[in-house]
Structure 1
Amino acid sequence: MTSIARRRLVQASAAATLATGLARPALAASGPIKIGWLPALTGPSSSTGIAIGRGVGFGVAELNAAGGIDGRKVELIIRDTQSDPTKAVNAAAELTRSEKVHVIYGPGNSGEALACTAVIARARTPQLNPCFVDEVIDAEKYPLAFRTAPSNQQVGAAANRFVLDILKIREIAVIGDTTGYGTSSVKAFAAMLTAAGASVVYEASIDANQPDLLPDMMRMRNAGAKAIMPWSVNPGFLARLLNTRAAMGWDVPVAGQPTLGSGQTRALLERPENWQKVYQTNFRTCCYGEDGKLPERTAELVARLRKAQVETSDTLLWWIAAGYDIAALVTAAVRHAGEKPEQMAAYWNAAGPFAGVFGHYGWAANQHNGYPDDSVVMSQANSFQNGTFRLAPGYG
């Protein structure tokens, strides 16, 4: 039997299809629908790919156990990008040319997506993209690419609002790693802070493999920073930052990228106390309130993950939930519009909003950023419970 969440998404999608007049095609009797998945399963950016992969795999397994798409199985074809943009480009070319996948999900990291998106677009393959960097989505330039997560503008707005309006701090250090994601995020968020009247007293991109962060941390403190905003998906880098802050006795809040709260980051902390006053971007669907309860749809997924023994204690639940929604989004498009690239894109453009577990997605022909602003929040890292977190102060 399909999950309640999947039924809701597909039922809502079917109703939207009728409303928009998209005709349901006759499906072939055989042949799998192929989803290409481009995660970093190894290398410094692998925490994201491993976790999202658990959700993608679980969603596809549930779908196939329920009979697939009108009897057609969904085949998940995975290529490890190894946290390397060049390898990601090669993997994308293989999936589109040799494997001839119907749709690509990923890459899972923005630095790789920056390198891959044009390659995937030239192959005329639909792409569902979970990355934040603004440049990877452009409805005119890449009409088959759709974002299934917030953009950097949305993430930055939430984090900056928290530091400026809730913590009431205006002297800020903004740092990132030297990946495409890290450098572009620092540039974008520092500009947003400055425009909002903050003082960016220190701005830098730092090699994530740099073993000693003390010199950079000393420069931040000497510049007068009263908060640090780091942007990296590398848990080792973020843990070293938090460990160094503690060793310095520098009691400033840290607020930024979701990986600040991941199980991988926690495992690398020298003391649990180093997670205090740490806040990370998160999503209402994967946060719990003061009553300790998750939203109903999320709680249902967690129960099924637990029954299937899918691990959540070492990662972020939103990564898993984001991957989980992909099978349903592909199912809705193929079932109600067809498997050709233009059919899938036309369906996603017209048939939303789609009610998933991670979020509600709503796109249009001229707007492929489909994640709602009010779902992007901040949470407290040291409230970690199996990949979920308590909402940070200021979020009811």
Structure 2
Amino acid sequence: MTGLSRRQLVKGSALALGTGLAAPALAASGPIRIGWLPALTGPSSSTGIAINRGIVFGVAELNAAGGIQGRKVELVVRDTQSDPTKAVNAAAELTRSEKVNVLYGPGNSGEALACTAVIARARTPQLNPCFVDEVIDAEKYPLAFRTAPSNQQVGAAANRFVMDILKIRQIAVIGDTSGYGTSSVKAFAGMLTAAGATVAYEATIDANQPDLLPDMMRMRNAGARAIMPWSVNPGFLSRILNVRAAMGWDVIVAGQPTLGSGQTRALLDRPENWEKVYQTNFRNLCYGEDGRLPPRTADLVARLQAAKVETSDTLLWWIAAGYDIAALVAAAVREVGEAPERMASYWNTAGPFDGVYGRYAWGPRQHNGYPDEGVVMSQANSFRDGTFRLAPGYD
């Protein structure tokens, strides 16, 4: 059994059967098709490249173990190229022409905002790894389930760290001009204001803008004592850190997980530019003071290393998020078959599911399945093969 524990899947089976969803006999042949919409190219591709490593590895392990009661799992991938229009076209192709059984993604929130209604109209179950709040609504999109925290959860963790642990109240909130960046700045600035902070500077900035010095000067002149950037673009984030260093501005930077990615590190002018940088992360993917990862995570890392799957240039949680998908799909199909409503009913009733990335638990009226306590902050410069040490203030 890979990913989700056998104990949890047995528990899930009993709950599903208890709701009348008797497990049907599976067809003797024919693959289970998972559609996957990553950005493998373009400015927002860092997330998609890493998640792709995880889901490809998870599907390969599942198939090597015999698939789902003898049926192979087929991954049908379309590169969205970081473009919401291309993502919509790919979503329509996978759900209507390719007739996938489940759709995972898109991997970036701006693309997910454009695609969610298209996927819902096709009546295709969707597992969504994006943070932006609007892509999940159990009433509007009853077949769509979030397999990551929402922006509200991510923002709460980051805001608590900056305000309650670092005791900073004057904050600059910035993002790029993507759908994710724009929606995140609006959401997080509002959350900070409601919590009693002063949003000293608020802006969305073109990620391709070559010179960030004018914006950084305005942030400093506005009195910001911390910058909270929200972008999945490592080039944009690295330029923020490089300009901060060139200015000699000793300001805290805390925000989006990509701040700590290997891609961002590779674009820094100096390693020291990663100091006083903290990013949202996940408790299962952080190591303790003893340098050890949780056992389930350490086991996955060992298997990734044996298979020569690269983790040193990315974030391990992205890989783990993709890895868990194969097991979530397998659990549903194994117990109730591939009819969309049956799969949704199974996920609604059969949890919680223990994955590597996190513990997922949904209900008929709540399709945000990631636990609040799983969202933490970590130290960027403690990077080790995609994992991090917890930031100050966490156990």
- Supply the distance in 2 between the matched residues of 1:272 and 1:11 (Cα, whole angstroms): 47
Shift of 1:20: 4.2
Tell me the residue number matched to 1:85: 84
In the other structure, the counterpart of 1:107 is: 106
TM-score (norm 1): 0.98
- The whole-number CA distance in structure 2 between the counterparts of 1:75 and 1:220 is 49
Whether 2:118 is the aligned partner of 1:143: answer no
Q: Give the aligned partner of residue 272 of structure 2.
A: 273
Q: 1:72 to 1:166 in 2, by over 3 A?
A: same
Q: What SS does structure 1 have at the residue aligned with 2:51?
A: helix
Compute the displacement of 1:9 (Å). 4.6
1:36 corresponding residue in structure 2 = 35
The answer to whether the 8 A contact 1:10-1:328 is kept is: no
**1:338 & 1:63 partners in 2: Cα distance?**
17
- Between the aligned partners of 1:144 and 1:4, the Cα distance in structure 2 is 22
Verify the 8 A CA contact 2:40 2:80 in the aligned structure 1: yes
CA distance in 2, matches of 1:361, 1:342: 19
Instruction: Identify unmatched segments of 5+ residues in structure 2.
Output: none
Give distance in 1, aligned partners of 2:362 and 2:138.
Answer: 10
- Corresponding pairs, count: 395
Aligned twin of 1:296: 295
Within 2, Cα distance between the matches of 1:12 and 1:279?
37
Give the CA deviation at 1:5: 4.7
Residue 337 of structure 1 deviates from its aligned partner by 1.0
One-letter code aligned to 1:117: T
CA displacement at 1:19 relative to structure 2: 4.8
Give 3-state SS (helix, strand or coil) of 1:72's partner.
Answer: coil
Offset of residue 10 of structure 1: 3.0
Residue matched to 2:284:
285
SS in 1 for 2:269: coil
Which residue of structure 1 aligns with residue 306 of structure 2? 307
Matched-pair contact (CA < 8 Å) for 2:12–2:349 = no
The CA deviation at 1:122 is 0.4
Q: Is residue 12–residue 354 contact of structure 1 (8 Å, CA) maintained in 2?
A: no
C-alpha separation in 2, matches of 1:6 and 1:366: 25
Measure how far apart 1:23 and its partner are.
1.1
CA distance in 2, matches of 1:312, 1:212: 31
Give the partner amino acid of 1:85.
P
TM-superposed CA distance for 1:37, in Å, is 0.3
Tell me the SS of whatever aligns to 2:137. coil
Q: AA paired with 1:307?
A: A
SS at match of 1:190: helix
Task: Give the root-mean-square deviation of aligned CA atoms.
Answer: 1.0
Correspondence list, 1:352-391, <5 A: 352-391=351-390
Contact 1:246 1:274 in 2 (8 A): yes
Query: What secondary structure, in the 3-state scheme, does the structure 2 residue paired with 1:357 have?
Result: coil
- Output the CA distance in 2 between the equivalents of 1:70 and 1:336: 10
Aligned equivalents of 1:29, 1:144: Cα separation in 2 = 26
- Tell me what 1:228 maps to: 227
Runs of 4+ aligned structure 1 residues displaced above 6 Å come to none
Name the amino acid aligned to 1:395: Y
SS of aligned partner of 2:112: helix
Contact 2:130/2:150, CA 8 A, preserved across alignment: yes
Whether the aligned pair in 1 keeps the contact of 2:4 and 2:353 (CA below 8 Å) is: no
| Residue identity matched to 2:43 | P
CA contact (8 A) 2:4 2:328 kept: no
Partners of 2:17 and 2:83 in 1: CA distance: 43
Q: Which residue identity is paired with 2:89? A: N
1:393 corresponding residue in structure 2: 392
Q: 1:1-396 to 2 correspondence within 5 Å?
A: 2-3=1-2, 5-396=4-395
User: Per the alignment, in what secondary structure is the counterpart of residue 83 of structure 1?
Assistant: coil
Among all aligned residue pairs of Structure 1 and Structure 2, give the percentage whose two residues are the same amino acid.
Answer: 84
Deviation of the 1:237 alpha carbon: 0.1
- Please state how far the C-alpha of 1:16 moved relative to its aligned partner: 3.5
Q: 1:11: how far off?
A: 3.4
For 2:20 and 2:366, how far apart are their aligned partners in 1? Answer: 20
Q: 1 CA distance for matches of 2:211 and 2:249? A: 16
2:173–2:229: 8 Å Cα contact kept in structure 1?
yes
Deviation of 1:22 (Å)? 2.8
Partners of 1:355 and 1:334 lie apart in 2 by 17
- Secondary structure, counterpart of 1:36 in structure 2: strand
Cα deviation 1:296-351 (Å, max 9, x = unaligned): 10011000000000000000000000000000000111111110110100100111
Q: Give the SS at the match of 1:67.
A: coil
**8 A Cα contact 1:261 1:382, kept in partner:** yes
**Residue 297 and residue 19 in structure 1: after superposition, are their counterparts in 2 closer, same or farther (change >3 A)?**
farther
Q: Which amino acid aligns with 2:26?
A: L
Cα deviation, residue 17, structure 1: 3.0
Shift of 1:21: 4.5
Residues 298 and 315 of structure 1: CA distance in aligned 2, closer, same or farther (over 3 Å): same
Cα deviation code 1:192-235 (max 9, x no counterpart): 00000000000000000111100000000000000000000000
- SS of the residue corresponding to residue 47 of structure 2 reads helix
Q: For each residue in 1:154-200, what CA deviation from the matched residue of structure 2 results, as whole angstroms up to 9, or x when unmatched?
A: 00000000000000000000000000000000000000000000000
1:6 to partner: Cα distance: 5.0
Q: Contact 1:34–1:76 at 8 Å: present in 2 too? A: yes
Q: 1:42, CA displacement in angstroms?
A: 0.2
Distance 1:172 1:117, change over 3 A: same
CA distance in 1, matches of 2:19, 2:172: 48
CA 1:355–1:219: 2 relative to 1, 3 Å? same
**What TM-score do you get using the length of structure 2 for normalisation?**
0.99
**AA paired with 2:266?**
A
